[in-house]
Amino acid sequence: MLKLKRGLSLLATLPLVFSLSACAGQIGGSGGSLLDTIKSRGKLICGVSGQLPGFSYVKSNGEYAGLDVDVCRAIAAAIFNDPNKVDFRNLNSKERFTALQTGEVDILSRNTTWSMSRDTSIGIKFTAVVFYDGQGIMVKKNSGIQKLEDLKGKSICIGTGTTNEQNLTDQMRQRGVNYKPLVFEDANTVFATYEQGRCEGVTADRSQLVSRRTTLSKPDDHVVLETVLSKEPLTPAVVNGDSKWFDMVRWTIFALINAEELGVNSQNVGQLANSNNPEVKRLLGTEGNLGKGMGLTNDFVVHIIKNVGNYGEIYERNLGKNSELKLERGPNKLWNQGGILYAPPFR
Amino acid sequence: MTPIWRNRKFFPILGQVIAAFIVAIIVMILWHNLIYNLHRLGLQLGFDFLQFQASFDIGETPIPYKSSDSYSRALLVGLVNSLRVIVFGIILATIIGITVGVGRLSDNWLVRQLALVYVEILRNTPLLLQLFFWYFAVFLTLPKTENQISLLGFININNRGVTLPFGIELSSELSTLILGLTLYTGAFIAEIVRAGILSVPKGQWEAARALGFKPNLMLRLVIFPQALRLIIPPLTSQYLNLAKNSSLAIAIGYPDIYFVASTTFNQTGRSVEVILLIMVTYLTISLIISSGMNLLNRSVQLKER
């Protein structure tokens, strides 16, 4: 009996040993920051959608492109001075947060809305808004539908895993309009079903509707209604409890916006390092020690702008004039040009 | 006094104790890891969120539901939607399976070939693909409500769904799901029925013929009761498959329990709790089906007297 007991007590200590070793292998726990992990790994792992022209999609030459993609490239440029040291992982809207929580991706840059419940209850932190969006509804031009009330008794196609379901419900409840939601897992199915005429309307963020309209067989037959149902500030997110990495992502985005405000772009960034404007000097690291304080080089913003351009360049390339979407900048203009884009200063 | 390890039962029992221990330890490690990591993210396990307001609409509500109801109410709506599909699916798949299974053994060459083609096509393509086919290529290409197809004057079919008499309306999504699951599972059941019938010894057929049974009576009174002994156990598996496959509903926009749980998970961020809920739900459904079929199985087994 004695022998058996000893064996049991040995076995009973096993979980303790295992759990200790399990703790030792944790990422981003106490101690090192994700930033150090990324540096030693030699590349950034970035979670994107991969299916949304303008934000993140794969071009015909196999390269990723879009606003969300360029945010990750900017971060890679800041750390490695090389915008291509990024691995992109396609995530659908349902799995995106889990992938971020478990450390499968370093950053979630996937047209994701910053909302209170997401920020406070699922263990992630939102960094800085990269695109001010709002939910809209697309209908067929000849349907005669002009406002939400016209959708009474009609079906509306939606994708699951987003804030869209809840927003639509809120707006319709407020107006007392009864409608039928038709919810699908896959965004492609949402728009295919709408195009087949099963739903009178389809709802998503307005930028997404404009982006998706280009993929329909007759884009001109469809119109995005004027009504904006919600505020959708699209914001890259990182995991909770790693302030060093959080700061790094947040100030990379602020650098893109400030660069545009100060007139620094990919063409002139080389000459402007010696400008006589102290703000520009601090931004580009020829004065002060802002980069060192974050664990980077002082000229990290030079690397960013040289490789991916400032916010304005990124916008026009992916969503604006130089893209297929031709999306007006609207609220995404700088604060001193009639928009609401406002980044804290580099001081 | 012989020492305990000389007892013949000692080592087998010790082996089982150790095995049970190892399993328990692995479960403990996994659980501890989960709690530790949730804690690291500042998250706690708990089901309090089920009482919060759901604030999303559901397209098909067989029981009263509004968006101001709680998540648990929404999940109940999803469960009822799932059960609708499972119950109708099981009944219809059984009817189709028996019909086609008997057809595979028909004396008529054409019926035999048709049944064979049906079984082989349906059995050898993925169910998800079939659901998409029924949805996009069949239901959504039906005419719009204005010029709908009328069958016998009281069944109306258009791309919104099927309207039956007595005010029964089946949406395209529900129709697609029931049709797809039924035809797919029916093909498997047909093979099971065929095997069961073929398992009845030739002598039984001859004896029934000698007694002057007509073909349909022979099947019903002599062959089928004996074939059932072989049919029921694999049939149970097919019913379980149908129940689990009904979770593909979300692909074609039918709001089943899995869909409601997905939205709940998305809005609350409680992935672990919601996954546990779904697992327990499907497990319960499966166990109910199993135990019902086991009762049925016992009633058709040979009674040894």
Chain B within 8 Å of A29 (Cβ-Cβ)? Answer: yes
A183/B263 touch (CB, cutoff 8 Å), yes or no:
yes
Query: Which is nearest to B238 in space by CA: B93, B80, B81?
Result: B93
In this structure, are A192 and A207 located in the same domain? yes
Distance CA A100, CA A102 (A): 6
Q: β-pairing, A107-108 with A44-48?
A: parallel
Distance CA B12, CA B35 (A): 35
Complete DSSP assignment for A182-220: EEESSHHHHHHHHHTTS-SEEEEEHHHHHHHHTTSSSGG
In this structure, are A58 and A75 located in the same domain? yes
- What are the angstrom distances between the C-alpha of A66 and each of A55, A59, A88, A189, A311? 4, 10, 12, 22, 12
Q: How confident is the model at residue B3 (pLDDT cuts 50, 70, 90)?
A: confident
Average pLDDT, chain B: 92
The predicted structure's pLDDT at residue B160 = 83
In this structure, are A224 and A240 located in the same domain? no
Chain A within 8 Å of B253 (Cβ-Cβ)? Answer: yes
SS3 A309: coil
A183/B253 touch (CB, cutoff 8 Å), yes or no:
yes
Chain B within 8 Å of A341 (Cβ-Cβ)? Answer: no
The predicted structure's pLDDT at residue A4 = 43
Domain boundaries, chain B: 1-45, 84-252+278-300
Provide the residue-wise pLDDT of chain A in tens; the chain has 347 residues: 444 444 444 444 444 434 434 443 444 444 589 999 999 999 999 999 998 889 999 999 999 999 999 999 999 999 999 999 999 999 988 889 999 998 999 999 999 999 998 998 888 999 999 999 999 999 999 999 999 999 999 999 999 888 899 999 999 999 999 999 999 988 889 999 999 999 999 999 999 999 899 889 999 999 999 999 999 999 999 999 999 999 999 999 999 999 999 999 999 999 998 889 999 999 999 998 999 988 999 999 999 999 999 999 999 999 999 998 899 999 999 999 999 999 999 98
Q: How confident is the model at residue B46 (pLDDT cuts 50, 70, 90)?
A: confident
Query: Which is nearest to A297 in space by CA: A308, A284, A279, A312?
Result: A284
In this structure, are A171 and A257 located in the same domain? no
Instruction: State which residues form the domain around A181.
Output: 138-230
A197 → closest Cβ in B4, B56, B159: B159
Chain A within 8 Å of B265 (Cβ-Cβ)? Answer: yes
Asked if residue A112 is part of any domain, the answer here is yes
Asked if residue A11 is part of any domain, the answer here is no
The predicted structure's pLDDT at residue A1 = 42
Distance, CA of A77 to chain centre:
17
Distance CA A9, CA A264 (A): 68
Asked if residue A111 is part of any domain, the answer here is yes
In this structure, are A314 and A265 located in the same domain? yes
The predicted structure's pLDDT at residue A19 = 42
In this structure, are A202 and A238 located in the same domain? no
B253/A1 touch (CB, cutoff 8 Å), yes or no:
no
Nearest-CA distance B283 → chain A (Å): 23
Q: How confident is the model at residue B10 (pLDDT cuts 50, 70, 90)?
A: confident
In this structure, are A99 and A123 located in the same domain? yes
B136/A196 touch (CB, cutoff 8 Å), yes or no:
yes
pLDDT tops 50 at residue B201: yes
A166/B55 touch (CB, cutoff 8 Å), yes or no:
yes
The CATH number of the structural domain formed by B84-252+278-300 is 1.10.3720.10
In this structure, are A241 and A127 located in the same domain? yes
Nearest-CA distance B3 → chain A (Å): 9
Asked if residue A2 is part of any domain, the answer here is no
In this structure, are A128 and A259 located in the same domain? yes
Distance CA B9, CA B129 (A): 54
Quick check: B189 and B233 in contact, CB under 8 A? Answer: no
CATH number of the domain within which A93 lies: 3.40.190.10
For the segment B265-273, the average pLDDT, to the nearest whole number, is 86
Distance CA B305, CA B303 (A): 6
Distance, CA of B134 to chain centre:
18
Distance CA B242, CA B259 (A): 17
Quick check: A193 and A184 in contact, CB under 8 A? Answer: yes
Chain B within 8 Å of A118 (Cβ-Cβ)? Answer: yes
Of A121, A157, A185, A240, which to mutate for an interface test with B (greatest number of B Cβ within 10 Å)? Answer: A185
Query: Which is nearest to A130 in space by CA: A204, A209, A71?
Result: A71
Q: How confident is the model at residue B257 (pLDDT cuts 50, 70, 90)?
A: very high
Chain A within 8 Å of B266 (Cβ-Cβ)? Answer: yes
B36/A22 touch (CB, cutoff 8 Å), yes or no:
yes
Token code pair at residue A72: 């990750």
Query: Which is nearest to A327 in space by CA: A209, A195, A207, A237?
Result: A207
> Where among A171, A205, A230 does a domain terminate?
A230
| Percent of chain B residues topping a pLDDT of 90 | 74
Query: Which is nearest to A327 in space by CA: A224, A229, A228, A188?
Result: A224
pLDDT tops 50 at residue B220: yes
The predicted structure's pLDDT at residue A268 = 95
Distance CA A185, CA B248 (A): 10
Asked if residue A292 is part of any domain, the answer here is yes
Chain A within 8 Å of B269 (Cβ-Cβ)? Answer: yes
The predicted structure's pLDDT at residue A31 = 58
- pLDDT, one tens digit per residue, over B104-135 is 999 999 999 999 999 999 999 999 999 999 99
B140/A197 touch (CB, cutoff 8 Å), yes or no:
yes
Q: How confident is the model at residue B152 (pLDDT cuts 50, 70, 90)?
A: confident
- What are the angstrom distances between the C-alpha of B102 and each of A195, B188, B225, B271? 42, 13, 14, 46
Of A169, A191, A238, which to mutate for an interface test with B (greatest number of B Cβ within 10 Å)? Answer: A169
A196 → closest Cβ in B56, B140, B252: B140
Q: What is the CA radius of gyration of chain B?
A: 25
The b/e string for A141-176 (b: 16+ C-beta within 10 A; e otherwise) is eebebeebeebeebbbbbbbbbbbbbbbbbbbeeee
The predicted structure's pLDDT at residue B44 = 79
- pLDDT, one tens digit per residue, over B234-251 is 999 999 999 999 999 999
Asked if residue A213 is part of any domain, the answer here is yes
Residue indicated by tokens 């082996």: B15
Residue B181 dihedral angles phi and psi, to the nearest 5°: -65, -40
Considering only residues B12 and B303, tell me which one the structure prediction assigns the higher pLDDT: B12
Nearest-CA distance A21 → chain B (Å): 10
In this structure, are A119 and A34 located in the same domain? yes
Quick check: B40 and B27 in contact, CB under 8 A? Answer: no
In this structure, are A62 and A87 located in the same domain? yes
Number of domains chain A is built from: 2
A121/B265 touch (CB, cutoff 8 Å), yes or no:
no
A123/B271 touch (CB, cutoff 8 Å), yes or no:
no
Chain A within 8 Å of B67 (Cβ-Cβ)? Answer: yes
The predicted structure's pLDDT at residue A302 = 96
Partners of B57 on chain A (C-beta within 8 Å) are 165, 168-169, 172, 179, 181
Distance CA A121, CA A98 (A): 13
In this structure, are A209 and A89 located in the same domain? no
Task: Give the range among A84-88, B8-12, B225-229 with minimum mean pLDDT.
Answer: B8-12
- What are the angstrom distances between the C-alpha of A280 and each of A305, A326, B72, B105? 13, 30, 56, 86
Chain A within 8 Å of B37 (Cβ-Cβ)? Answer: yes
> Where among A230, A254, A271 does a domain terminate?
A230
Distance CA B85, CA B97 (A): 17
Asked if residue A14 is part of any domain, the answer here is no
A183/B59 touch (CB, cutoff 8 Å), yes or no:
yes
Nearest-CA distance A47 → chain B (Å): 17
How many beta-carbon contacts under 8 Å exist across A and B? 122
Nearest-CA distance A303 → chain B (Å): 33
Nearest-CA distance B160 → chain A (Å): 7
- What are the angstrom distances between the C-alpha of A183 and each of A159, A190, A264, B37? 5, 8, 44, 32
A198/B40 touch (CB, cutoff 8 Å), yes or no:
no
Asked if residue A16 is part of any domain, the answer here is no
